[in-house]
Structure 1
Amino acid sequence: MFVPKLFTCLKTYSKDQFVKDFIAGIIVAIIALPLAIALAIASGVSPEKGIYTAIVGGFIVSLLGGSRVQIGGPTGAFVVIVFGIIEKFGIDGLIVATIMAGFFLIIMGFFKFGGMLKFIPYPITTGFTSGIAVIIFSTQIKDFFGLTMKTVPSDFIPKWGAYFNSFSTLNLQSMLMGIFSLLIIIFWPKINKKIPGTLIAIVLTTIITLLFNLNIETIGSRFGDISSSLPAISLPHTSFAMIKELMLPALTIAILGSIESLLSAVVADGMIGGSHRSNMELVAQGVANICSGLVGGIPVTGAIARTAANVKNGGRTPIAGIVHSLALLMILLVCMPYVKLVPMSSLAAILIIVSYNMGEWEAFQRILKAPKSDAIVLLVTFSLTIFFDLVIAIGIGLLLASLLFMKRMADVSDVRYILDEYEDKDQIELIDSIKTPENVSLYEINGPFFFGAADKFMHAIREIGIPTKILIVKMSNVPAMDATGYHALEMLYGICKKHHTHLIILNLQSQPTTVLGKYGFIDALGVENICNNIDEAIERANILLEKPNALLKI
């Protein structure tokens, strides 16, 4: 259903709800401000770019989105990939990748991929989000301790090596402000839950730095004056070669954004008892990313923490998200000259908390209790994210999870000869009811019949040797089959034709029937040899045994 939630909510909107939405929007804007600045800097862009993203992206997500309470903006999930794009392609490359990701998201929404994203395994999402958390934490060490370094290596191990080599340059004042900020952020909620601790930390550390004239690097000393003007729309310089190289990073941004935004929407549904429109949400996220890219912003997605804060403060419609964007716009126009006074160590403390909250560390505590396959997927994805690349981590994680899933399906699928004294009464009666039971073989396939299980079937076929006059394959426990499963049946049919054996398929389910019908197998075998129950199979077997010279249909 491609109707924004805003349009639905406005039908029954009230003055009382507007007051609640307005208050929630203001509070969320105060929470979003330091996060937007910190995430922008961590991503490798100037501070105002993060605010542009929160304003433009947040407004469109609320205007067009499929969730009542979703708050859009920059999040930690994109820091690693955005930083990598800027390092290789510059700002223009980031803008192109963000716009491309927006189009990918719109396509995903229109093709109704919203329901499919839930099939991405939990160990993969846990692995890469926790890996991103570790990387974000590692990027903040320099600013937190005020280390003097010309360049910081991008790779994880060389980065930590450079930190240790430069630790003698530690700035004690910077470290103390960083620790002070951490303590405020951690303990402030015990004093007041309405005003975010991040804002209090920034305000207090900025005042202390000014009053005591501390020798601490600030946003202004690193970036110079911060623009307080409205963002201007500009088209990036690009080429076909750049677009080609950015295809995979853009797709990664789209997948990450879709996962995080829909996860946030699901969490919000649980808090308000609502139901989001996943495909509409993807389309809105796509439009938001295109517009964010056009104004020089960074990628946009649904922010779980800000969405939860919106709900907890009374927000129940997209109006709260729109108010949040407009409040950030006013802050941009009025307060940006003061942002340059904020200590970098204070922003580093904020991102350290963000990284801690991002990581799903409890999953690592439970990993020893989990199936080994899930533990392997989680650890591989986590390690590849940290030591190699996010794109590689997700790709290999999905491949590994798929292979392990295939193995599990193959393990629960089996092919067996079921004519022995231990089988159930129905199977024994089936063969005893046939005139010459010694000329009949009965096999049963259990579980999904796809390429993971077809090998077992082929092994069973090889063990048959020269088949009997009647070969019955029972498929009542086969819910689905694929092309490889069909190929295995086709090979069996070829063997039967070679040895003048009649093949009967028993209890064929709907999906396998459709597959075999499309391949023409049912027409080749003959619909009379597809039996729905035991009585039909008995009757068909006896008819065929009465006609020993009957030829198999081609």
Structure 2
Amino acid sequence: MSPEKAWGRLPRLSTGLMAAWRDGYGLADLRKDVLAGLTVGTVAVPLSMALAIATGVAPQHGLYTAIVAGALIALTGGARFNVSGPTAAFIVILLPIVQQYGLGGLLLATLMAGLILVAMGVAKLGRLIEFVPYPVVLGFTTGIAVVIAVLQIPDFLGLAIEGRGEHFLDNLGKIATALPSLNPFEFGIGVLALAVMLYWPRLGVPVPAPLAGLIVGAIATYGLNHWFGAPGAPVVETIGSRFSWEAHGQTGAGIPPIAPSFSLPWLFPGPNGESLTLNLDLFRNLLGPAIAIALLGAIESLLCAVVSDGLTKTKHDPNAELIGQGLGNLVAPFFGGITATAALARTATNIRSGARSPLAAVTHSVVLLLAVLVLAAPLGLIPMSALAALLFIVAWNMSEARHFVRTLRSAPAEDVAILVICFGLTVIFDMVLAVAVGMGLAAALFIRRMAMVTSTERVDAAPHVATSQLSSELAIYEITGPLFFGVAEKALTSLHQADPQVKVVLIDMRYVPTIDGTAIVALHSLIDNMHQEGVALILVGLRAPLIAALHRAGIKKDKGRLTYCADLEKAIVVANRWRAASSAPTVEAKSA
């Protein structure tokens, strides 16, 4: 293949941007994109910080993710309306990485995941989402939502907990033990912010509910800390009181008012606060988490693109989207950004706000950059309990509780079992194990259902006009359904009937769509056994690709054993010719 042809077969970049341009993009569309980007950016500022904190890193790294990866993915990806940045689904994967390898390990794992995503896109694996069953997706997303909600309880209640547990049950135990340390001021601010976020949309005020809740919570927190707190000992913890920064010889509390700058990912702090030492063992240990990040990122991004297609009647390019997501995660770690993927809530907000192209997502990134440069000090006043309240809402929306309950009530028992198992494994252990087990169970269920579809039965002569004068020495069997490892042995063994009168067996295979390696081996065995008993075999109606596959496996026309016919009428003519030629049938491959 020439280099030009090979290059032409690679997925194209920026297909989302090109699709908007082909539809006729003008100043009116640009105005809509800017307004939509402003709206989404306003929502994304607190959300990016909250998700970074939940992941175990400083809030600015969530903002850097949305700034760098958000813009780059929008410009290079294949989805027209996706808005990318840190998402809640990754918390359960990223938090253990941070605990074990520090921020530097997380950035390195993200970089590795970006390479994997690019490779998946180049290999055109963009249809991956079509092979993940809905019970598996719903099970692990609902499980992730439960884990996220539980992780926010300490900040929401103001509990004094030292560190986080490695697993869900550990965290529950720590929370239960720390309940006597509940801080009524923190709890009150959390409840206030949560109530504002829930009831604000009813007022019809054009300000996002999360922003309103955080502003009210920040004002109330400022008052409480002023009247009841002391210097260095606030009664309600804020971003500014928990986090500090040091950059370019400057130090401060909260978020640094500095744009993301280039730095090698492995130079960021590791688990002991020092830079990572690059070696083969480190890459080997991070490979598993990187694969998990890439797979979840692919699933979530493509799911988001499918939903946005349904809302806008457009069509995304899944392979280009994977490459775009990969490039975003490949570049963001060099600017302090953590893992990014398309966010369904922000994408839906983008669409409802009138977005016309990926430039809306780029505008959203610009809004976050301006927030870092201009609003760093006010952002430091946001209370931690209010951010926990925001993540409670995120977790509830992510859980799809109504769909979960409806599936439990209406889905087949096997699907319900897969849903519950994936949910339980995600909550108790981790998402990677849940998806692996869920996919295995779903595959086993699919095999079982396909096995029930495939059947083999002997056909009476009467229904077939062409076979109305069928000799007793001829038998016709019909196989319906795919011949694969789950059914091949049973389906083909049932053809071997102890009927001494039958000298030629015709197998009608018009309704066999596929044959796998196990079925080919079983067919070999059937041909040998029938030949030893003096019985010839005619395969009828096989599709050309399947005949070619059998030829490659050595199952060819063979005198006295086997031939192929296009239909039953021709097969019966051939079978009668064999009987007339000899009392022990032979096969004239050429005449057949």
Task: Kindly provide the amino acid, as one letter, of the partner of residue 354 in structure 1.
Answer: V
Q: TM-score, normalised by structure 2?
A: 0.88
Secondary structure, aligned partner of 2:477:
strand
1:289 counterpart = 2:329: yes
1:324 to 351, 361, 364: 364
1:425 lines up with 2:472 in the alignment: no
Question: 1:246: Cα distance to partner?
Answer: 2.0
Offset at residue 266 of structure 1 (A): 1.8
Cα distance between partner residues in 2 of 1:133 and 1:248: 22
8 A Cα contact 1:500 1:552, kept in partner: no
In structure 2, what is the Cα distance between the partners aligned to 1:77 and 1:465? Answer: 62
More off after superposition, 213-222 vs 66-75: 213-222
- What is the match of residue 306 of structure 1? 346
Instruction: Tell me which amino acid in the other structure corresponds to 2:469.
Output: S
Letter in 2 for 1:285: Q
Change (3 A) 1:445 1:304: same
| Contact persistence 1:502–1:544 (CA under 8 A) | no
Task: Within 5 Å, give how 1:317-396 maps onto structure 2.
Answer: 317-366=357-406, 367-396=408-437
Pair 551,244 (structure 1): closer, same or farther in 2 beyond 3 Å: farther
CA distance in 2, matches of 1:467, 1:357: 68
**Shift in Å, 1:243:** 1.7
Contact 2:458 2:477 in 1 (8 A): yes
Deviations 1:222-255 (A, max 9, x none): 2222222222323314322222222222122111
Tell me the equivalent position of 1:6.
17
Provide the residue aligned with 2:33 in structure 1. Answer: 21
The corresponding residue for 2:47 is: 35
In the alignment, structure 1 segments of 5+ residues that lack a partner are none
TM-score by length of 1: 0.94
Contact 1:529-1:540 within 8 A present in 2 as well: no
Moved more, 121-130 or 366-375: 366-375
Aligned counterpart in structure 1 of residue 236 of structure 2, from 212, 216, 221: 216
Distance 1:513 1:363, change over 3 A: farther
The ranges of structure 1 where at least 4 consecutive aligned residues each deviate by more than 6 angstroms after the TM superposition are 525-528
8 Å contact 1:467–1:501 — kept in the other structure?
Answer: no
CA RMSD of aligned residues (A): 2.1
The superposition leaves residues 291-341 of structure 1 with CA deviations (integer Å, 9 ceiling, x where unpaired) of 112222211111111111111112111111111111111111111123222
Cα shift at 1:551: 4.7
Give the secondary-structure state (helix, strand or coil) at the position aligned to 2:505.
strand
Kept after mapping to 2: 8 A contact 1:133/1:358: yes
Tell me the SS of whatever aligns to 2:486.
helix
**Structure 2 segments unaligned to the other structure (5+ residues):** 1-10, 229-234, 245-252, 267-275
CA 1:538–1:393 in structure 2 vs 1: closer, same or farther (change >3 Å)?
same
Count of aligned residue pairs for this structure pair? 547
After superposition, residues 409-488 of structure 1 pair within 5 angstroms as: 409-419=450-460, 425-426=463-464, 429-434=465-470, 437-461=471-495, 463-464=497-498, 468-488=502-522
For residues 139 and 506 of structure 1, the distance between their equivalents in structure 2, rounded to whole angstroms, comes to: 62
Q: Note if contact 1:414-1:456 (Cα within 8 Å) is conserved in structure 2.
A: no
1:502 paired residue number: 536
**In 2, Cα distance between equivalents of 1:107 and 1:59:** 21
How far, CA to CA, are the matches of 1:8 and 1:404 in structure 2? 39
Select the residue among 307, 321, 327 that pairs with 1:267.
Answer: 307
Superposed displacement of residue 158, structure 1: 2.4
Q: How big is each residue's C-alpha offset from its partner over 1:72-126, in whole Å with a ceiling of 9 and x where there is no partner?
A: 1111111110001112222222112111111111111112111232221111110
Report the AA paired with residue 9 of structure 1.
A
Equivalence for 2:270: none
CA-to-aligned-CA distance 1:193-238 (integer Å, 9 cap, x gap): 6321111111111111112325112222222222222223233143
Aligned: 1:544 with 2:578:
yes
> Measured at CA, do residues 400 and 467 of structure 1 come closer, stay the same or move farther in structure 2, by a change above 3 Å?
farther
Identity over aligned residues, as a percent?
37
SS of aligned partner of 1:274: coil
